[in-house]
């Protein structure tokens, strides 16, 4: 297809910008902006911060507003999110957490998704809804959803280098 995707990371090593081009023509782009504590504060499609969707973060490092709206954000006494703002897929509600602070269930619109883990920490989620996660020594190595596999290729230090889906590699 001739498409090439390039990735940019900020000074803290966080993914901050990607653009997909065919030749010199920009097809698509993604921008992510963070505060000094590493919280995502905005995301959009043009390079530079802040962009598009903005988030407000409280002192407990919890998102309390999206684009200025505090509607639907809630947390339990342990600080776990129990509901989140609307997304194109719907509003997250009914989020449930294990004693190990692992998301075990959430509802988006009318669909409920169960989460499963292979350990007592967050490092090894093995299933959420219909998606299975395959972890390697450097982190997430593949996902499988409805028979579609996606592989994540990493550099020796763990940085994502490319992904492969349906026989195509995306850089």
Domain limits of the chain? Answer: 1-59
pLDDT value at position 53?
A: 85
pLDDT at 89: 75
Confidence of residue 1 (pLDDT cuts 50, 70, 90): low
DSSP bridge pairs for 134? 142
pLDDT class of 94 with cuts at 50, 70, 90: very high
| Confidence band, pLDDT 50/70/90 cuts, at residue 162 | very high
The distance of Cα 111 from the centroid of its chain, to the nearest Å, equals: 19
Instruction: Say if pTM beats, i.e. exceeds, 0.75.
Output: no
What number is the average pLDDT over the span 143-163? 92
pLDDT digits (tens, 9 = 90+) for 32-90: 989 888 888 888 888 888 878 888 989 898 988 888 888 888 999 999 999 987 777 77
């Amino acid at each position: 297809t001739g498409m090439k995707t390039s990735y940019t990371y900020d000074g803290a090593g966080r993914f901050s910008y990607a653009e997909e081009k065919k030749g010199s023509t920009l097809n698509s782009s993604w921008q992510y902006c963070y505060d000094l504590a590493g919280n995502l504060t905005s995301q959009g499609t043009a390079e530079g911060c802040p962009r598009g969707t903005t988030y407000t973060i409280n002192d407990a490092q919890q998102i309390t507003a999206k684009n200025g709206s505090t509607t639907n954000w809630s947390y339990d006494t342990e600080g776990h999110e129990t509901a989140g703002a609307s997304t194109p897929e719907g509003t997250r509600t009914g989020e449930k957490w294990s004693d190990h602070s692992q998301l075990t269930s959430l509802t988006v619109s009318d669909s409920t998704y169960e989460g499963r883990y292979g350990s007592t920490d967050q490092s090894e989620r093995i299933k959420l809804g219909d998606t299975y996660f395959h972890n390697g020594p450097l982190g997430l190595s593949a996902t499988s959803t409805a028979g579609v596999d996606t592989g994540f290729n990493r550099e020796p230090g763990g940085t994502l280098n490319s992904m492969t889906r349906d026989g195509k590699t995306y850089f």
